Amino acid sequence: MKNIILFGKPGAGKGTQAVFLRDHFNLIHISTGDVFRYNIKNQTPLGIMAKQYMDNGDLVPDEVTIQMLEREVDKKPDAAGFIFDGFPRTISQAEALDGFLSKKQMSIAATLALDVDEDILVSRLLSRGKDSGRADDQDEEKIRNRFAEYNAKTAPLIAYYTAQEKFHAIDGSRSIEAIADHLTRIVDQL
C-alpha cells in the first residue's frame, strides 16, 4: 500500500500532480480543501464553520479537520493507497495521521514536497482565482496570510518527515510533465 503526502505552499501544484498520481498508481486522492469546499457548497454545518477560516486564509481548527480526514479514509476500505493533498498542515495533524494509520496497520510511505518561490505562487494563485472564483485566491493579502500560516504551522512538518526519512523535496517550478516524471520515479521506488 502506497500512502503519499503531497506537500507544498498554496498554488505549488499539489492538486494537479495528485490527479496525475491518482490515475497513474490507482490511488484514492483526498484533498481536505476540496472536501471543505464541497461542504461549503452544500451548506453543511461543517462547511458553514470552515468557511469563516478559509475565506480569510486561516487554517481550519485541527480537531474538525482531523475528524473529517479520518472519515474520508474510512469511506475507502479497499483502497490501494491514498494521496493526501493539503493534509497534514500542522504537527498535531501529522501526529494524528500517524496514529490513525498505524491502528489500521498502515503508514505514510513518502512526503513529496513541491518547492516554488512565493512570488511565482502569488501570480499563479491570482490567475487561478480569476477562473475559479475562489475568494481565498483573489486577494493578495489573503494569499500572503496563507503563506504566513504555512510558514508558521506547516513548515515544521519538513523536519518531522525528514526525521522519519520520508521527505523528498522537488523543484516545483518546472513543467507539469517534468514534475510528474520526477514524482513517478520516486513513487515507483517506494
Which is nearest to 172 in space by CA: 117, 128, 119? Answer: 117
Query: Which of 31/183 has CB closer to ligand AMP?
Result: 31
- Name 8's Cβ contacts closer than 8 Å, sequence gap at least 6: 14, 113, 114, 115, 116, 172
Q: How far apart are the first and last CA of the chain?
A: 10
Who contacts 84 (Cβ-Cβ below 8 Å, separation ≥6)?
A: 3, 4, 5, 6, 30, 69, 97
Of residues 72 and 179, the one with the C-beta less far from ligand AMP: 72
Measured from each CB, the residue nearest to ligand AMP is 33
Residues acting as catalytic residues: 14, 89, 128, 134, 146
Question: Smallest distance, Å, CB 75 to ligand AMP?
Answer: 17
Residues in the chain: 190
Query: Which residues, numbered 85-144, are part of the site for ligand AMP (CB under 6 A)?
Result: 86-87, 89, 93, 136
Residues 15-54 binding ligand AMP (CB under 6 A) are: 32-33, 36, 53-54
Residue given cell 458553514 in the structure block: 48
Site for ligand AMP contains 9 (CB under 6 A): no
The site for ligand AMP (CB under 6 A) is made up of 10, 32-33, 36, 53-54, 57-60, 65, 86-87, 89, 93, 136, 146
